[in-house]
Amino acid sequence: MNALDTTLPAAPRTIAPAHPTHKFKLLLRREFWEHRGGFFWAPVIAGGISLLLTLMAIIVGLVAANRAAEAGTLELDGVNVSGLDLGQLTQQMSPQDMAEFADGINLSLFLGSGWPFIVLAFVVFFYCLGALYDERKDRSVLFWKSLPLSDAQTVLSKVASAVLVAPAIAVAVAVVTMFAFMVLISAVVVLHGGNAWTLIWEPASPLSIVAGHIAWIPVYALWALPTVGWLLLCSVWARSAPFLWAVMVPVFAGVFVSWFKLMDVFNMDASWFWTHIVGRLLLGTVPAIDQIYRDDLAESMSNNGLENIVGDLSFSHQIASLAMPELWIGAIAGAVMILGAIRLRRWRDEG
């Protein structure tokens, strides 16, 4: 007789529910892959265009300098230079000239790495404007609501993508662009008899610029919250043309306040409303806009020259921006609008 099988059946496997942080990570990954053209390729292309234009400008400048040297019209401190020899040119520079030269290099590095940030302003603005409207338009909101994902997780993933993921990618691309720019001009210096280390890498401050870019990310995240919250609120609320609603409502409010002089009740000028209400709702995605509110950038440009822009956007100045009352007041207002967008998404699912 066969022996009886006394083995017990295996217990069914239980699948642990996904952790909320894992869901949020997947939502961030989804946002990136659905919008990688704007988040990644747009700043990469902008950085590439910056390098291409730099190369073209270098070629044009070298051709003009060589022609001037051959014609004997290239002068340095009143002395004719027979050839384009950077070593010969820099030997006659005074310490003050070298200091100004270093400021010029830092400014060039900053401007050369700034193109991805220009693109970032448009990418974040239009991403937030269509983030919740597009999913209602194509009815994909019904699919996402059928998944075990809350409205808060979905909306906050879009907020994090706009104020953290997109700026972090822009910073990374800007840093790569900046060092590629340094390599490019270093090659030009070496090919024309100069020492790239003493002329480019030693006087420049690329690490300080990188530190300022990294410290700028949390400042941008907080400063952009009012604009991000307002755009998401319009995106989830508007039945059509969210761009017109997002732009025209603040603008018409500004016109109404200016027309009827409502700010006179508070002994304030109408320009305050345009700056702190309309400007904060529409221009928060523009990088370094907070420096204009601090008057540091405008003052440096008008009084001390463009070279001091790099200092005003350094690590210490970016950290100091976190103490601005306008930043935190705007962040609270943005959080309230984001909360409103979360609640509206729970029932605003029509096409």
3-state secondary structure labels for all residues of the chain:
CCCCCCCCCCCCCCCCCCCHHHHHHHHHHHHHHHCHHHHHHHHHHHHHHHHHHHHHHHHHHHHHHHHHHHHCCCEECCEECCCCCHHHHHHCCCHHHHHHHHHHHHHHHHHHCCHHHHHHHHHHHHHHHHHCHHHHHCCHHHHHHHCCCCHHHHHHHHHHHHHHHHHHHHHHHHHHHHHHHHHHHHHHHHHCCCCHHHHHHCCCCHHHHHHHHHHHHHHHHHHCHHHHHHHHHHHHHCCCCHHHHHHHHHHHHHHHHHHCCHHHHHCCCHHHHHHHHHHHHHCCCCCCHHHHHHCHHHHHHHHHCHHHHHHHCCHHHHHHHCCCHHHHHHHHHHHHHHHHHHHHHCCCCCC
Percent of the chain predicted with pLDDT > 70: 78
Integer CA distances (angstroms), 319 to 117, 192, 212, 323, 334, in order = 19, 41, 9, 8, 21
Structure tokens at 77: 């401190």
pLDDT band for position 222 (cuts 50, 70, 90): very high
pLDDT at residue 164, as a whole number? 96
* Range among 48-62, 94-108, 129-143, 184-198 with highest mean pLDDT value: 48-62
Percent of the chain predicted with pLDDT > 90: 44
**Nearest alpha-carbon partner for 290 in 208, 209, 222:** 222
pLDDT at residue 300, as a whole number? 47
Rounded Cα distance between 101 and 105, Å, is 6
The mean per-residue pLDDT over the stretch 215-238 comes to 94
296 or 175, which is more confident?
175
pLDDT at residue 192, as a whole number? 75
Flag the least confident range among 209-223, 300-314, 318-332.
Answer: 300-314
Would residue 3 be called left, alpha or beta, if left means φ above 0 and alpha means ψ between -120 and 50 degrees?
A: beta
pLDDT at residue 261, as a whole number? 84
Instruction: Give Cα 321 to chain centroid, integer Å.
Output: 16
Integer CA distances (angstroms), 223 to 76, 162, 274, 294, in order = 46, 12, 17, 12
* pLDDT of 296 over the 60 cut: no
pLDDT at residue 74, as a whole number? 55
Cβ neighbours, 10 Å, residue 29: 13
| Residue type at position 226 | P
* pLDDT of 6 over the 60 cut: no
pLDDT at residue 22, as a whole number? 83
pLDDT at residue 75, as a whole number? 57
Residue pair 130/236 in contact (Cβ under 8 Å)? The answer is no
* pLDDT of 213 over the 80 cut: yes
Flag the least confident range among 196-210, 265-279, 294-308.
Answer: 294-308
**Nearest alpha-carbon partner for 122 in 174, 172, 169, 166:** 166
The mean per-residue pLDDT over the stretch 160-183 comes to 96
pLDDT at residue 16, as a whole number? 46
97 or 340, which is more confident?
340
pLDDT at residue 45, as a whole number? 96
The mean per-residue pLDDT over the stretch 118-143 comes to 87
pLDDT at residue 89, as a whole number? 60
pLDDT band for position 306 (cuts 50, 70, 90): low
70 or 12, which is more confident?
70
* pLDDT of 53 over the 90 cut: yes
pLDDT band for position 347 (cuts 50, 70, 90): confident
Structure tokens at 138: 């194509």
Structure tokens at 162: 């706009």
pLDDT at residue 125, as a whole number? 97
Flag the least confident range among 87-96, 97-106, 193-202.
Answer: 87-96
* pLDDT of 5 over the 80 cut: no
pLDDT band for position 216 (cuts 50, 70, 90): very high
| pLDDT tens track for 283-294 | 999 988 877 776
Rounded Cα distance between 235 and 128, Å, is 7
Return phi, psi of residue 10, to 5°. -65, 140
Mean pLDDT of the chain: 82
Rounded Cα distance between 239 and 303, Å, is 48
302 or 281, which is more confident?
281
96 or 26, which is more confident?
26
